[in-house]
Structure 1
């Protein structure tokens, strides 16, 4: 170094040159904008967010997408439409959810259907043509029943509307009035209204009864056969679509699922908010001040958390029933403890950071420090935990509804639909399939969404590709 000629050392810039920092060419990105940018790069979380938005949209509008008030308007008539197979437009063209069903029936009944002018299109396959032409064909003398594929919508309408009188007379077991399933007794006004709607198939009998108040106008009763689909739905079977089928009460399962989802999700959001307000308020105070208050409240929380949730739920439902407010109280009785733990841990973690000490030095009040400086820095973990708390409640509520512990009197939940579907799964698997798919999609979507939020709000990942 000593042998270097100093004349060879030349300054890069002249003394008159003014060196300046280059201006930033990019816009300043805040914490939340950076979090959103990272969240968008997580494709799984973004798709999950879209799915959740779709579920929330369907919760709001799903129950009104298919107007069907028959169970409320006439529960007895709705029972005639129970257990109808799912039929979905477009998918039916591919043989999926096309309203077809396998049924096992006697050959005399199937022959009557095949030869009836109203039975066209009811039987799709499985019934030999020889028996259509001759029900006593010798090749099938020893066979009394056949399993055939039918258009279930036309099949239900045929059995409820067009069954021939001879079949009931020869094979019925309904007592003195074998036509009871397919007839209506109408007054004159009802008869005229039905006649105007063109739903009367035929008139079986007309009976006059004396009118003591007006002998000149006796009471007239019409015994008639009516088209059930036109009577109940004002449309033909081929124009009727129950997308998810119907349940044992004749209710549209598509509508019932979204009604149940509305109850579950609204209760989940309400319970999460209540737990957040109670838990975060107590946890932030205890975590910020610490000391004796922290020790005393920790002992109290240990006592409360030691009480099994199932015991609380069972005792409350046995004492007060299963009204919605009872379930909310049960889930908030100990549910706030998780929020309390999160808030206490986060405030205890940040209360001695430099920016908090600086704010305290400048005279900021405790309330301002807690909610202006500490709380925003804990928001990421808190939001993530609550995003995961919603599906946790939905799954818990569905589980206890499935087990029969929660059984709403005037409402339906997805768990109750799963319970009903489990009882009928061997004969009608769609009753279990669709509610279970909804629960599975919701759980997966919320978990992916929560994981995406956790990564997006993690400050240590800022700038990491």
Structure 2
């Protein structure tokens, strides 16, 4: 192919570039603040956004869930005790296990012996128990097995009754108690997180800002408090107060803020020698104003992240205390109390454990994923 001479190119195809000194270095893209960058990074984190919606859904259900049926938190009725979950429409999907039946495998020397054991377990007649032979015996011990399905709603003449999450051993509706318990656990967690935020930020900020003797005294006090196990504090609270929300919140408030205070103290120590703090001091700004307007805004990100991580910790702590009998006591409900009751009936009525354990697990996972998302959002290195 023949190459064209530069002189043969039409000069009208080119236009001179006029350079203006006042616009040559102008930034055309809009500038974003740190908060806008953090929000942009968080919105790109899909797991964190999904976690926000899950947490909001659970919070909403803890508020409106107990009022979605006619049963109260402590409405006891032994005639409807130990009913399995039964949900309209979903009862036709057998693999979901929400059809209101109890099933189990029973073994015996022969089919008749295994069937007798199944009937004795459910204390019912052939009319309401379906028997499916799994293994036929030959006369040897435990060589036959049957699967028995007990239609307990029909046996109790409750064909038109639905308990979405079943009932406990006293006939109380598990749907109502689950969301009541979730509400109690969330209240404890959020109150503990707020106290952690207020006390920890104030204590750590004052300790790191003033330094010297003030810092030494405050840190020695914190070291003494952190050396006291939370379980010991709970036992002391039980001697003074009745077991319940107040004693758990106080126990969390006594030592829960120490971790936050240490983090805030470390950040404040790094910022106190920065130029903007020295300039504020030179201008005669009061110490309280410097802490409130200059230091705390610069550590807001790490405060939010640590507060978000403290919420699942408080939820788990309450569940642990209630599980070992030192937290919420019956007839009040919490996730830990419901899990403790379900664990005691795990082999016979596993649904009593499955639903509260699932809600607790989802809450813990969602808050931790959201905390990771917020940590990335407030990290300038992650902004693109």
- Alignment correspondent of 2:53: 50
- Alignment correspondent of 1:255: 176
- Alignment correspondent of 1:150: 150
Offset at residue 346 of structure 1 (A): 1.6
From the superposition, tell whether residues 300 and 261 of structure 1 become closer, same or farther in structure 2 (CA, over 3 Å).
Answer: same
- Alignment correspondent of 1:65: 68
Q: Give, in whole Å, the separation in 1 of the partners of 2:43 and 2:73.
A: 45
From the superposition, tell whether residues 147 and 63 of structure 1 become closer, same or farther in structure 2 (CA, over 3 Å).
Answer: same
- Per the normalisation by structure 1, the TM-score is 0.69
Q: Which has the larger radius of gyration?
A: 1
- Alignment correspondent of 1:282: 203
- Alignment correspondent of 2:131: 126
1:14-39 CA-to-partner distances (Å, cap 9, x unmatched) read 9x963323644433211111101101
Q: Give, in whole Å, the separation in 1 of the partners of 2:209 and 2:84.
A: 59
Task: Work out whether 1:326 is the aligned partner of 2:340.
Answer: no
- Per the normalisation by structure 2, the TM-score is 0.82
- Alignment correspondent of 1:182: none
1:306-331 CA-to-partner distances (Å, cap 9, x unmatched) read 11111111122134220322222111
- Give every structure 1 segment of 4 or more consecutive aligned residues whose post-TM-superposition deviation is greater than 6 Å: none
Query: Residue 150 of structure 2: SS of its match in structure 1?
Result: strand
Counterparts of 1:401-412 in structure 2, within 5 Å, are 401-408=322-329, 411-412=332-333
8 Å CA contact 1:105–1:147 kept in 2: the answer is no
From the superposition, tell whether residues 362 and 36 of structure 1 become closer, same or farther in structure 2 (CA, over 3 Å).
Answer: same
Offset at residue 53 of structure 1 (A): 1.0
- Alignment correspondent of 1:18: 20
Offset at residue 54 of structure 1 (A): 0.8
Counterparts of 1:204-223 in structure 2, within 5 Å, are none
From the superposition, tell whether residues 281 and 92 of structure 1 become closer, same or farther in structure 2 (CA, over 3 Å).
Answer: same
- Alignment correspondent of 1:239: 160
Q: Give, in whole Å, the separation in 2 of the partners of 1:279 and 1:412.
A: 30
- Alignment correspondent of 1:271: 192
- Alignment correspondent of 1:229: none
- Alignment correspondent of 1:105: 119
- Alignment correspondent of 2:13: none
From the superposition, tell whether residues 69 and 281 of structure 1 become closer, same or farther in structure 2 (CA, over 3 Å).
Answer: closer
Q: Give, in whole Å, the separation in 2 of the partners of 1:400 and 1:31.
A: 40
- Alignment correspondent of 1:413: 334
From the superposition, tell whether residues 412 and 21 of structure 1 become closer, same or farther in structure 2 (CA, over 3 Å).
Answer: same
Offset at residue 406 of structure 1 (A): 1.8
8 Å CA contact 2:181–2:334 kept in 1: the answer is yes
Query: Residue 87 of structure 1: SS of its match in structure 2?
Result: coil
- Alignment correspondent of 2:274: 353
Gaps of 5+ in 2: 1-15, 105-117, 134-145
Query: Residue 32 of structure 2: SS of its match in structure 1?
Result: coil
From the superposition, tell whether residues 21 and 152 of structure 1 become closer, same or farther in structure 2 (CA, over 3 Å).
Answer: farther
- Alignment correspondent of 1:453: 374
8 Å CA contact 2:74–2:331 kept in 1: the answer is no
Offset at residue 410 of structure 1 (A): 5.3
8 Å CA contact 2:197–2:303 kept in 1: the answer is no
Q: Give, in whole Å, the separation in 1 of the partners of 2:231 and 2:72.
A: 37
Query: Residue 83 of structure 2: SS of its match in structure 1?
Result: coil
- Alignment correspondent of 2:107: none
Counting matched residue pairs gives 342
Counterparts of 1:432-451 in structure 2, within 5 Å, are 432-451=353-372
Counterparts of 1:287-326 in structure 2, within 5 Å, are 287-326=208-247
8 Å CA contact 2:73–2:176 kept in 1: the answer is no
Q: Give, in whole Å, the separation in 2 of the partners of 1:70 and 1:363.
A: 59
Offset at residue 152 of structure 1 (A): 2.1
Task: Work out whether 1:376 is the aligned partner of 2:297.
Answer: yes
- Alignment correspondent of 1:342: 263
Query: Residue 126 of structure 1: SS of its match in structure 2?
Result: strand
8 Å CA contact 2:165–2:351 kept in 1: the answer is yes
Offset at residue 108 of structure 1 (A): 11
Match among 307, 316, 322 for residue 386 of structure 1: 307
- Alignment correspondent of 1:163: none
- Alignment correspondent of 2:7: none
**Alignment RMSD, CA only?**
2.6
- Alignment correspondent of 2:321: 400
Q: Give, in whole Å, the separation in 2 of the partners of 1:380 and 1:109.
A: 62
Q: Give, in whole Å, the separation in 1 of the partners of 2:48 and 2:225.
A: 35
Query: Residue 326 of structure 2: SS of its match in structure 1?
Result: coil
Query: Residue 155 of structure 2: SS of its match in structure 1?
Result: helix
1:29-68 CA-to-partner distances (Å, cap 9, x unmatched) read 1111110110111111111111111111111111112221
